[in-house]
Chain A
Amino acid sequence: MDAFEYASPTTKEQAVALLAGEWGSTELLAGGTDLLSLMKDYLVTPKRVVNIKSVQELKGLRYTAGSGLRLGALVTIAELVEHPQARKEYPALIQAAEGIASPQIRSLGTVGGDLCQRPRCWYFRNGFGLLAKDEQGGSLVADGDNRYHAILGNSGPAYFVNPSSLAPALIALGAKVQLFGPGGARELSLDRFFVIPKTEQDREYALKPNEILLEVLVPPATKVRSATYEVRQKEALDWPLVAAAVALNLDGNKIRTARVVLGHVAPIPWKAPEAEKVLAGKTVTEDLAAEAGQAAVSQASPLSRNAYKVQLARVAVKRAVLQAAQGGV
């Protein structure tokens, strides 16, 4: 990695003041589990690294029945997984968090870092850029090895998949994020935090270069049953091939409303309103769950080598719905 200047602010105001107004020259450091590999591989080459681990306001996990769960950006994945009330109220989130990587990475990696981690697209990770173009401007992904790439939201130019395991569950649970920049704080529904970049200069989230993610707010979910179903190639140290997070708002046996979000299938966590529509107003059965799975992939357009992911997404939604209905444990 290149040499860099290191800053370790103690307030959020200091932190944003240390960030540059354009991407590239500064980077935030939380647990470092992704940032350091990005730097070692020269995928990001910041002149200044801003360590936010001493910013107290970014820490802390709090649950109240009235306002739900507040996750400071620096809450580690291990802290989240071990939190008794979070475990009870948000099974979809906990199941997603438990699947992440390994105990070592869960105890270093943070919630903010999980949401802001960069894509695993191997063309990106091999230095071909976020949009993975060849020298003539053609897509390396579209004609190349796209077995792990997007099956939805892939009309270009981005084909990578969003790597965050927490994001689909959080979006299904209706989470919001607080962002902070020189102009103060702003709140965003988490599903609007992720964006599909159009140019190589864009990032895949709505943060401005000099903003930081402060906290994640998850509304109470007492009436909600939720579950995440992940399909992985390996049991540990691997991102899912496909994940589905489902949150069912129940009225007795009946689904009042449903949220279905797919992970690792599109450049952003992918909401599946078609599946939500299928589920709304119905009682969960095996057939209904399968129908929801089918609806979730109705718009899928696999690339040359990833049609199997359509099947995986279909099954993941079905199984997540059934798991959520059974109590989500």
Chain B
Amino acid sequence: MASEMRSIGKPTPRIDARERVTGQARYTGDVQLPGMLYARVLRSPYPHARIVRIDVSKAKAMPGVHAILTKENCRIQWSSGDSRNKRLLFNDPVRFVGDAVAAVAASDRHTAEEALQQIVMEYEELPFVLDMEQALAPGAPEIHPGGNLSPNNEGERAPETDQRGDVERGFAEADQVFEDVYISKHHNNAQMEPRVSVAQWEGSRLTVWASTQGISNCRRDLAKDLGLPLNQVRVICQYMGGGFGNKNQCHDFDLMASALAKETGRPVKLEFTRAEDFVAVHGRWPTKQYYKVGVKKDGSLTAIRMKAYSGMGPYRKGSGGVAGAQLYRCPNVKTEVYPVYTNMAVSANYRAPSYPQGVFGIESLMDHIAHTLGINPLDFRLKNMTEKYHDEVPYSSYGLRDCVTRGAEALGWRQKWHPPASDRGAQKQGVGMAMGYFGAGLGMSSAVLKLNPDGSLQVHVAVTDIGTAAKTTMGLLGAEAMEIPFERVSVLSGDTDRAPYSVGESGSRTTNYTGYAVVTAAEDLKRQLRELAAQSWSVAADAVQYSQGAVYMQDRPDRRTAIAEILKGNPDGLIAQATTDPKLKGVSRNSFAAHFVELEVDTETGDIRILKYVAAHDSGRILNPLTAGSQVKGGVAQGVSMALREELLYDQMTGIPLNPGYYGARIVTHGDVPDVEVIFVETADPYGPYGAKSVGEPPIVPSVAAIANAVFNATGIRIKELPITRSKILDAAPGVRLEGGRA
């Protein structure tokens, strides 16, 4: 490793920023192919119903209609659409409003849509259930045979549990026991780019232009579900317009476009509307979390017990977990999570899938406990925060304490904190904080590096860059490892025919997985260069050194030979490939964060205005402070939205989603999002490339809880159900009369 960093650690604009903002970038929706057809999808208007009859004859007879798929002629399984049950592209019974029942390919969008209107569907409505706990009650409508508790990883109908110590003993030892319930809602990922897929067959070979977070996984899934050899499937995604976790793997629309293209012999584009995007793909799982926590008078924890329900909708893709308890040191912990099927929209991964909802619960409750015991919430955290995973396994690197102390200092916590509801007027100010963590995993990924004879470097990686600046990061790592200027590096990505396997941009892992492979391949390039030089100089390879684009004899550092010189007789340059799969040894690897918020609540209108927001993060060494800072700001924006605004609402009587879309579900705009002061507490992690850990997902983790805690400090009102809307503040505000008529 170079002793002094050249490329990393400097604020570097994205390598594709210019194309993106000038409209040159060709997103999947921009792909136009000769003879291309357009597809649209017909969806169930009922939350739960059996299909009695489908009649497509009128639609099929329409001029311009080329193909119609329904459950009657298409039995393709969408295997990544459900890890527990067999989910087809078109299911019967339909299990949520928005479940696909037919897809039409036609010469243009309007014809496709008119054809949908001509398809006759007859349903037999079935009883439905939206609420998680009701779904588990005896006699609840069964959404899948065997009941509504989704099987755990072992295939048993039992909750996912995690346990250490003995909670009952912990409660017995406690001076005081707290019990509480926290509720979070279904939130859509609301990424900017809608779902879209373009499929084209050339003979038996399928090319899909996808809007995916992972072209390698998308290709794997397409091949599996369509029964094709891997070399017959190519997935392309050069520019990607966001996903936040719901564009992993391949999707039903990729499969539908592929199947329609096969059926018609023409390329097919399938693009969802924003409303479809909200109800028919997936969002964050809603949760209901029951806590019981035991404490000693001095504030030390004796037991944490959580029993939580996660509403997965009718299909189970992601885990359904509820994270958070790991933030605290405690000898006795038991968590039980029940992932439940309901007839709502499907729930799966959304940025830090299990975290912000669970951290909202645990960090609100810990804040409440600190308040009740008369301990400053900051001191309570400093006393009880995790220092080892499960109190026993050391962290690979640990910056949580620094996040808390530096964040508190930046906010001015000691000066600003006051007992709840101290302000006398209608406008009440308060501060709140919360901690967060997120697993920073390691795993398998690949990179191919090509060092050209002129000394320029091509990095081939199958990243798609979902907004994390992954392409730029891969370039920076290549430049750093080769000790050459960043400008000499190009990144070839987003095409499975041009790049080796990459893990896919999910789990905040591209830098750690694929970046590791890039650095490893670069080491190999340097070895090859040294060997070439050694050969031509007729010396032993270890007598040759490499630095900054040149080789030299160990004892003659002043006589440098540039790469171009070494590669003169080598028209194709050098190629190195690495598939890496690093493993942790006896440690737990996590990113950490602490967020601090100062806000003002107008108790007459329930208005909440964030005055100051400090986000302190330990994501290891920061490779690119510019784009890492953007990750934090974006995560905070989503946290604000989740805390104060957003919710996909369902009508209890009809089971229909009432407000899909940006406006309806009240996704925040720039006007709602505060300026964020970002602090990076840089730890040098021994496992990540140049000490980096994860930064993509952690920023949303503590945000919701920090805001909720600040609302409590301002008003004395503890809102336990998201989002913290005006109506909830006003309904709880003491002294405000809400009934109509007389004052």
List A residues at the B interface (Cβ < 8 Å): 1-3, 40, 102, 122-123, 126, 134, 140, 143-145, 147, 151, 231, 233-238, 241, 294, 297-302, 305-308, 310-312, 315-316
B475 to chain A, nearest CB (A): 35
- A147-B727 CB under 8 A given contacts A231-B605, A307-B739, A310-B738: yes
A311 contact set on B, CB distance < 8 A: 604-605, 730, 736-738
Q: At the interface, yes or no: B57 with Cβ under 8 Å from chain A? A: no
Interface residue ranges of B646-685 to A (CB < 8 Å): 649, 651-654, 656, 658-659, 662-664, 666, 668-672
- A237-B605 CB under 8 A given contacts A231-B726, A308-B730: no
A47 to chain B, nearest CB (A): 14
A300 contact set on B, CB distance < 8 A: 740-741
B280 to chain A, nearest CB (A): 15
B630 contact set on A, CB distance < 8 A: none
A308 contact set on B, CB distance < 8 A: 606, 726-727, 730-731, 738
Give the dominant DSSP class at B's interface: loop
Given contacts A134-B654, A140-B651, A234-B671, 13 further A-B pairs with CB under 8 A are A3-B110, A123-B651, A126-B656, A145-B651, A147-B727, A233-B726, A238-B666, A297-B740, A301-B741, A307-B739, A307-B740, A308-B730, A308-B738
B637 to chain A, nearest CB (A): 12
Give the bracket for the number of chain B residues in contact with chain A.
Answer: 35 or more
Q: At the interface, yes or no: B53 with Cβ under 8 Å from chain A? A: no
A241 contact set on B, CB distance < 8 A: 726
Tell whether, in the assembled complex, residue A234 and residue B738 are in contact, meaning their CB atoms are under 8 Å apart.
Answer: no
B117 contact set on A, CB distance < 8 A: 2
**Which 10 A-B residue pairings sit nearest by Cβ, starting from the closest?**
A235-B671, A300-B740, A308-B727, A122-B658, A236-B669, A308-B730, A307-B738, A236-B671, A315-B604, A235-B672
Q: Given A2, A143, A234, A294, which contacts B666 in the complex, CB threshold below 8 Å?
A: A234
B604 contact set on A, CB distance < 8 A: 311, 315
B654 to chain A, nearest CB (A): 7
B99 contact set on A, CB distance < 8 A: none
Tell whether, in the assembled complex, residue A144 and residue B741 are in contact, meaning their CB atoms are under 8 Å apart.
Answer: no
In the assembled complex, the Cα of A234 lies from the Cα of B668 at a distance in Å of: 7
Q: Given B273, B651, B666, B740, which contacts A233 in the complex, CB threshold below 8 Å?
A: B666
B163 to chain A, nearest CB (A): 39
Tell whether, in the assembled complex, residue A134 and residue B653 are in contact, meaning their CB atoms are under 8 Å apart.
Answer: yes
Tell whether, in the assembled complex, residue A235 and residue B669 are in contact, meaning their CB atoms are under 8 Å apart.
Answer: yes
21 sample A-B contacts, Cβ–Cβ < 8 Å, listed by A number? A40-B273, A123-B658, A144-B651, A147-B727, A234-B666, A234-B671, A234-B672, A236-B672, A237-B663, A238-B663, A294-B743, A298-B741, A299-B741, A301-B740, A302-B739, A302-B740, A307-B731, A307-B738, A308-B730, A312-B605, A315-B604
In the assembled complex, the Cα of A311 lies from the Cα of B725 at a distance in Å of: 14
Q: Which B residue's beta carbon lies closest to that of A42?
A: B117
Tell whether, in the assembled complex, residue B669 and residue A234 are in contact, meaning their CB atoms are under 8 Å apart.
Answer: yes
B664 contact set on A, CB distance < 8 A: 122
In the assembled complex, the Cα of A234 lies from the Cα of B666 at a distance in Å of: 7
Q: Which A residue's beta carbon lies closest to that of B650?
A: A145
B670 contact set on A, CB distance < 8 A: 236
Q: At the interface, yes or no: B742 with Cβ under 8 Å from chain A? A: yes
Tell whether, in the assembled complex, residue B725 and residue A233 are in contact, meaning their CB atoms are under 8 Å apart.
Answer: yes
Q: Which A residue's beta carbon lies closest to that of B426?
A: A315
B731 contact set on A, CB distance < 8 A: 307-308
In the assembled complex, the Cα of A235 lies from the Cα of B666 at a distance in Å of: 10
In the assembled complex, the Cα of A300 lies from the Cα of B742 at a distance in Å of: 10
Tell whether, in the assembled complex, residue A231 and residue B666 are in contact, meaning their CB atoms are under 8 Å apart.
Answer: no
Q: Given B113, B607, B669, B738, which contacts A231 in the complex, CB threshold below 8 Å?
A: B607
B607 contact set on A, CB distance < 8 A: 231
Q: At the interface, yes or no: B387 with Cβ under 8 Å from chain A? A: no
B92 contact set on A, CB distance < 8 A: none
Q: Which A residue's beta carbon lies closest to that of B668?
A: A234
Most chain A CB within a 10 A radius of its CB, from B114, B669, B727, B730: B727
A231 contact set on B, CB distance < 8 A: 605, 607, 726
Most chain A CB within a 10 A radius of its CB, from B645, B653, B672, B740: B740
Bitwise, B137-174 to A at CB < 8 A (1) or not (0) is 00000000000000000000000000000000000000
In the assembled complex, the Cα of A241 lies from the Cα of B731 at a distance in Å of: 15
Q: Which A residue's beta carbon lies closest to that of B644?
A: A233
Tell whether, in the assembled complex, residue B743 and residue A145 are in contact, meaning their CB atoms are under 8 Å apart.
Answer: no
In the assembled complex, the Cα of A73 lies from the Cα of B225 at a distance in Å of: 56
In the assembled complex, the Cα of A122 lies from the Cα of B666 at a distance in Å of: 13
Q: Given B652, B672, B739, which contacts A144 in the complex, CB threshold below 8 Å?
A: B652
B651 contact set on A, CB distance < 8 A: 123, 140, 144-145
Q: Given A3, A145, A310, which contacts B649 in the complex, CB threshold below 8 Å?
A: A145
